[in-house]
Amino acid sequence: MRSDPLHTRLCDVLEMELPIVCFTHCREVAVAATRAGCFAVLGEALRSMEEIERDIRWVRDQVGPGFGIDLVLPARAPRDASPEEIYAEIPSEHLSFAEALEARFDVPPPTNEVVLRKWGGNNKKIARAQIEMVLDEGVPVIATGLGAPDFLYDEAKARGIKMIALVGATRQALAQAERGADMVVAQGYDAAGHTGGVGTFSIVPEIASKLPNLPVIAAGGITTGRHLAASLCLGAAGAWVGTAWLASLESDVDPIVKERILAADGAETTRSASISGKTMRVLRCPWTEVWDGDDAPQLLQSPYQMLLTSRYLQGANDARRADLMTEAVGQGVHFVREERSTAEIARSMADEARTILEGFRAG
Ligand SMILES: Cc1cc2nc3c(=O)[nH]c(=O)nc-3n(C[C@H](O)[C@H](O)[C@H](O)COP(=O)(O)O)c2cc1C
């Protein structure tokens, strides 16, 4: 009998059936993806310690311990000031520009807690608390975007936790491998969220050729089985997928944003530093358009720009204003066309990839 072309070494390392890692912020999606044979990584970067503990325990109760947690922790965190103190340091020129934008687009003030202020990258103390919660809960896999503090690697290694580093450039991949990453996500320009300037088609084989001994996982624009098959052809041991689940039946993304996602194509996303101070791919919205325009002040660095954005975004989300809301969405969004179950998305991606790869063998 011929071997399954989708059974890669990543399947063995992460003990999963399909070479698909499901990145999601939604715990229901994480559970459904795990049950469908994927490995789920739950994004907890914007959650408090209590929320992180609650989510880990909830997912573990449903599917056991085989899932990971993702935190976004820039190596260069600001000094230990509270989000409010950092906000107070934002230059008046930027505050006035943001206020004028809010007035022009009639952005209502937030009515709920401002979620972006919970980000670990705002403050070393928050970052350390998030990390300690994940370590204490005994999660077997931790993924980090934008780098990670040394003590996290030291602690993870001591506890036998597998570390996944998301990178957007080959030099970052080499640096993270050197410090002990067990797997590297080669994330291309097409990807949702923080992303570098090299396309998926180039960055994946480049990193795979430099790190032949590590499982390299392709990310950025992978929304169909064709993309999954191509990832394996490029030398990846699997695919790290985010956008494809956003409009799934289990997803907790606001229905207004889901509707936009189902109608959008790649050109309706933009890679802008206006949200967080680092280049990030999101659906276009007034905030990205105005800040990326010629009249805007120079963008602030992270976390100042992130905190500046927080009022706009929370106000837009709380009022559920379709004209103002945005979300991290990748260029592969064109192929997200109907609200399907997470299992169906995983299954169709795997079936299509298998058919394509077996077709090569038959041919
Ligand atoms: C809504 C959304 C939020 C994201 N937030 C994070 C995050 O908090 N941490 C992280 O490492 N990556 C984050 N990402 C990026 C994903 O980890 C992944 O690299 C990306 O989605 C892959 O590209 P794709 O969206 O084209 O599949 C996010 C992606 C999406 C869709």
Domains identified in the chain, total number: 1
DSSP state of 196: -
Report the nearest-CA residue for atom 5 of ligand 1. 193
Residue ranges around ligand 1 (CB below 6 Å): 23, 25, 43, 45, 70, 72, 145, 166, 187, 190-193, 219-222, 240-243, 246, 327-328, 330, 332
Task: Encode the chain (363 residues) as per-residue pLDDT tens digits.
Answer: 678 999 999 999 999 999 999 999 999 999 999 999 999 999 999 999 999 999 999 999 999 999 999 998 765 656 678 888 888 999 999 999 999 999 999 999 999 988 888 887 777 788 888 999 999 999 999 999 877 888 899 999 999 999 999 999 999 999 999 999 999 999 999 999 999 999 999 999 999 999 999 999 999 999 999 999 999 999 999 999 999 999 999 999 999 999 999 999 999 999 999 999 999 999 999 999 999 999 999 999 988 999 999 999 999 999 999 999 999 999 999 999 999 999 999 999 999 999 999 998 876
Which residue owns the Cα nearest ligand 1 atom 28?
193
Which residue lies with its CA nearest to atom 1 of ligand 1?
A: 328
Contacts of 34 (CB under 8 A, 6+ apart): 22, 40, 59, 62, 63, 66, 67
Atom 18, ligand 1: residue with shortest CA distance:
242
The verdict on residue 110 lying in a domain is yes
- DSSP-based helix, strand, coil % in the chain, nearest 5: 45, 15, 40
In a domain, 36, yes or no: yes
Domain of residue 173, CATH code: 3.20.20.70
Say if 2 falls within a structural domain.
no
Q: Is 95 a member of any domain?
A: yes
In a domain, residue 363? The reply is no
* Calpha distance 153→176 (Å, rounded): 10
Q: Which numbered atom of ligand 1 lies nearest the CA of 188?
A: 23
Ligand 1 geometric centre to CA of 192 (Å): 5
Residue 362: inside a domain, yes or no?
no
Is 3 domain-assigned?
no
Is residue 4 situated within a structural domain?
no
Q: Print the domain residue range for 139.
A: 9-357
Pairwise CA distance, residues 117 & 114, whole Å: 6
CA dist., res. 124 & res. 128, Å (int) = 6
